[in-house]
Structure 1
Amino acid sequence: MATITQASSFLSYQKGRRITRSTIQMPKKLNTDPLSLPKLPSQSHGVSSGVQDLRSKTSLNQETTDPVAVVEKLYLIMEVVADRVEMHKNIGEQRNNWNSLLLTSINAITLSAATMAAIAAHHGAYVDVLKLSSSFMYIAVTGMLIVMNKIQPSQLAEEQRNAARLLKQLHGQIQTKLAVSTPTLDYVNAAMAEVLAIDRAYPLPLLGVMLEKFPAKAQAAVWWPEKPSNPAKGKRGKNGWNEGLEDEMKEIIRVLEMKDKADYLRLDEKFLMLNKMLALSGPLLTGVGAIGSAFLGSSYHDPWAVVAGVACGVVATVVNSIEHGGQVGMVVEMYRSNAGFFGMVEESIESNLKEEDVEKRDDGELFEMKLALQLGRSIQELRDLAASTTTNEKDMKEFGSKLF
C-alpha cells in the first residue's frame, strides 16, 4: 500500500460557504519509518471564524460539533499509533535476536555435551568429570529448550512485525482522512477502537497475555473491532451500490471463505502440528541425553548410555535447528494472519451489505476498487471471478487472492 502524505491544506470562506482545498502528493520514495505527523491547521487561517459559524447554527454538545476538538483528538491518536509502531518494531527486533542467540547457544551446548559424552565413553582418566559436565549441560539445555519452545521467539517476532504493519496502515488512513475530508467524532471513536483491537490481537507483554502458541485448533487472527450493523431492507441504486454489485460481493465472500481462508487454515493446522512435534522432541532428546551421560562407564548400561548420550544430542541439535532455525513458529503466525486477512475482508463486505441505510455504506465504486487491489486483481478480474463461481466447492479452481 502506498503511503499518502499531506503536502498542504487550508480552509477559506467565500460568501458564507466554507471551501476546503487540499493537495495530495505521492512521495517519490516509499518511507514509512519514522512516521511523521502533519502539522495541525492553525486557527488563524479561517478555522476560528468557521468554528464560530458552525456554533451559531447548532445547539448540540460542543464535544460533538467542534471540528477543532475532533481534529485534536485524531492527532492524539496518530501520535499514539506512531509510538506503538516504534514499540512493536523494537520489541520485534529484540525477540528475533532471542531466536538467533538462543538457538546458537542451545546447539553449541548440546553438541558440547554430546562430545563430552563421546570422550567419556573411552574411559579416559577424567571420565567422572566428563560425565557430570555432559549431564549438567544436557539438563541446562533441556530447561532452555522448554522455555524457548513455550514462547516461540520467531512467532513473537512475526506478531510484532504484523502489528507494526497494521499500525502503519492505520496511521496512513488517518492522514488520508485529515487530508481529504473533515473527520467526525464517530471516526475518532472508530480509530481508537482499531488501535485497541490491534493491541488485543498482538499483545506486547509475555506474562499473562501472551497468545497461545499451541492452541487445540488453528484459528484465524482477528485484529479489527466488531462493527455493529442493521439488516438491509433493500435500498439500492445510491452511493454507488446496486443489486449487481451486492450479488458480486456475496460471491466474493463465498470464494474467500471456501478457498482462500480454508486453505490457509489447513496449512496453519499442518505447521502447528509440526511445531508441536518438534517442540516436544527437542527437550525429550536432550533429557534422554542427560540420563545417558549419567550412566556412561557402567558395564551393563554402557552401550545404551553411549547411544543416548551422543546420538540423542546430535539428533536434538538437528530438531532444534529445524524448529527455530527454520522459524516454524513464524510460519504458523504468518498463515494465521493471512487467514485473518481474508476474515477481515469478508467482515467488511458483510458489514456493508447488512447496513440498512445505503448512504451510510462505503462508496460502492471505491469499495470495489479497494477490494480488487487488496486481492491483487483488476476490477474486471474481480467481476469475472464473481461470475465464475459455483455452488460446489470442488469445482472452484481459482482462489480469490492473487497477491498471496
Structure 2
Amino acid sequence: MATLQASSFLRSSCTNANSSSSSSRRRTNITAKINIPNIRTNKTSQLPMLISDQLEQFAINPIEELVLSPSRILIHDTNVDGLDPLVIEKLYVIKEAVADRVEMHKNIGEQRSQWNSMLLTSINGITLAAATMAGIAATSSGDSVLGLKMSSTIMYLAATGMLTIINTIQPSQLAEEQRNATRLFQDLYNQIETTLSIGHPSGIDVKEAMDRVLSLDKAYPLPLLGVMLEKFPSSVEPAVWWPQQRRRQTKSVNNWNGWNSKLEEEMKEIMGVLGRKDQEEYISLGKKALKLNKFLAMSGPLLTGLAAIGSMFIESDSASHGSNWAAMLGIVGGALASVVNTVEHGGQVGMVFEMYRSNAGFFEYMKESIESNLMETETERRENGEVFEMKVALKLGRSLSDLRNLASSSSSLKEEFASKLF
C-alpha cells in the first residue's frame, strides 16, 4: 500500500509540474530521474529511510526542488560535489589498514618492553647466583666443591648465551622503534581522517597515503629475523620513515597562496638552523650512545665467560694454600657482569640511541618538507604559506612570533636550537 501511495504521489507531482511548465513554453525543460529499486520481497510495507526523507523534501515544493537541486533526489550512491566514490573507498581501506598497524605496533612494543625487563631480571639473577656458588665453592671442602663448581660454570655459560642474544636484538631499542611507529601511524591515520572530512580527496591522496604506509613498514619492521634494523651500525644516520617528496597537485588557483619573499627567507633560515644545530646535536649524541652501547654489549658476555672459566678451576680452601685466583675471577667477573648488564639494559642505552636517531630523522623530515616547498617554482602547487608556517611553528614548539624571531636571529654568534620540544 505504501508503494502505491508513493507512486500515486509522484504521478500527481509530475502532472502538476507538466501543467505548470506548459503555461510557459520559454522555460527550460528539466529532466529528473528518481531511481526507486524494484522491491520484490515481502517487505513492501516500508521504503528505505533515505527515500522517505527525500520524498518528504520533494513534496514541499517539487518544482523548485527539480529546478534548483536535481542532484539531491538521487537515491542510489553517486558522485557528490564532484567526489569520486572509488577514491573515498580506497582511502577508507588504507585508513582501516593504518588503524590495524597502530594496534599491532602498540601491542608488540609493549611485548618487547616486557622482554627487556624479564631478561634483565633473569640474567642478573642467574649471574649473581653463579657468583654466590663460586664463592661457596672456594670456601668449602669435600665432595660438595665439584657440584658447586659445575653449577656455577653452567649458570655462567647460560648467562653468557642469553646476554649474547639480548645484546644482539636490544629489546629496549626494539620497543622504542615500535613506539615511534605507533605514533607515526597514528599521525597518518589522523591525516587521512582530515582529508576525508574537509578535503577533496583524489588519486594523488591515495597514492601518497599508500607510499607513506609502505615507507613506515620498511622503516619500522615488525619481524626480527631477516629484516630487523641494524642495532650497531658503522655510522649514525637519521631515521627515514617518509617517501620521497613528490611534486604536489595543484589545489589552488591563487598564484600567491600565502607565500612571499619574506616567508621564503624565514623558512630558509629555519632550515639552516635545523641542520646546523638540532640535527647535528642529536647525531653527535647518537654516536656517543652507540659507542657506549657497543662497549657494554661486548663487556657483558666477556665478563660472564671469564667468570665461567674461573669457576671451572676453583680449588677448595684446603688446597688453595691462600691463593685462589680462579675463585676471584669467578666471583668478581660475575659481579661486574651484573653491573654492566644493569647499566646497558636497565638504563636502556639502546632505547636512548634509537630516540636520538629518530629525533635526528624528525629534523631531516622538517628540512625536506621546507625544501620541497621552496624548490617548487609554481607557488600554487605549494602548501598554503600561512598554514605551513603555523605547522612548522607547532612542530618546533614555538609561537609564530617566536619562530620569526628565531629566523631573524639565526645569524647571531650564540645561535639557539630551533626545537623547544626536545
TM-score, with normalisation over the residues of structure 1? 0.82
Report the equivalent of 2:78: 48
Q: Give runs of aligned pairs for residues 260-275 of structure 1, distance below 5 A.
A: 260-275=278-293
Aligned counterparts of 1:96 and 1:78: Cα–Cα separation in 2: 27
User: Aligned residue for 1:212?
Assistant: 230
8 A Cα contact 1:92 1:157, kept in partner? yes
Greater shift, 102-111 or 292-301, is seen at 292-301
Matched, 1:179 2:197: yes
Contact 1:110/1:137 (8 A) holds in 2: yes
Q: Kindly tell me: are residues 18 and 377 of structure 1, through their superposed partners in 2, closer, same or farther at Cα, counting changes over 3 Å?
A: farther
Q: CA deviation at 1:237?
A: 6.2
Work out the CA distance in 2 between the residues paired with 1:82 and 1:149.
32
Q: Unpaired segments of 5 or more residues in structure 2?
A: 1-56, 58-64, 249-253
CA distance in 1, matches of 2:193, 2:203: 16
Amino acid corresponding to residue 245 of structure 1 in structure 2: L
TM-superposition CA deviations, 1:235-277 (whole Å, max 9, x none): x961111111111110001000000000011111101100000
Matched, 1:308 2:329: yes
Tell me what 1:338 maps to: 359
1:322 and 2:354 are equivalent in the alignment = no
Are 1:90 and 2:104 counterparts?
no
Q: Shift in Å at residue 15 of structure 1?
A: 4.0
CA contact (8 A) 2:109 2:175 kept: yes
Q: Report the count of equivalent residues.
A: 349
Structure 1, gaps ≥5 residues long: 1-11, 20-42, 55-65, 231-235
Asked if 2 retains the 8 angstrom alpha-carbon contact of 1:295 and 1:301, the reply is no
Secondary structure at the counterpart of residue 48 of structure 1: coil
The separation in 2 between residues aligned to 1:323 and 1:194, in whole angstroms, is 33
**2:214 paired with 1:196:** yes
Tell me, yes or no, if structure 1 residue 107 matches structure 2 residue 128. Answer: no
Alpha-carbon distance between aligned partners in 2 of 1:261 and 1:202, rounded to the nearest angstrom: 20
Over the aligned positions, Cα root-mean-square deviation in angstroms equals 2.4
Kindly indicate whether the alpha-carbon contact (under 8 Å) linking 1:252 and 1:400 is maintained by their aligned counterparts in 2.
yes
TM-aligned CA distance change 1:114 to 1:192, over 3 Å: same
Q: What is the rounded CA distance, in whole Å, between the counterparts of 1:220 and 1:17 in structure 2?
A: 55
Q: Find the aligned partners of 1:229 and 1:253 in 2 and give their Cα distance.
A: 19
Q: Which has the larger radius of gyration?
A: 2
Measured at CA, do residues 17 and 143 of structure 1 come closer, stay the same or move farther in structure 2, by a change above 3 Å?
farther
Q: TM-score, normalised by structure 2?
A: 0.79
Displacement after TM superposition at 1:183 (Å): 0.4
> Are 2:134 and 1:117 equivalent residues in the alignment?
yes
Does the 8 A contact of 1:116 with 1:134 survive in 2? yes
* Greater per-residue strand proportion: 1
8 A Cα contact 1:158 1:334, kept in partner:
yes
TM-superposed CA distance for 1:218, in Å, is 1.2
Instruction: Rate the CA distance shift 1:225–1:49 in 2: closer, same or farther, 3 A.
Output: closer
How far apart are the structure 2 equivalents of 1:85 and 1:308?
Answer: 48
* Deviation sequence 1:80-108 (CA, Å, 0-9, x none): 00000111011111111110110010000
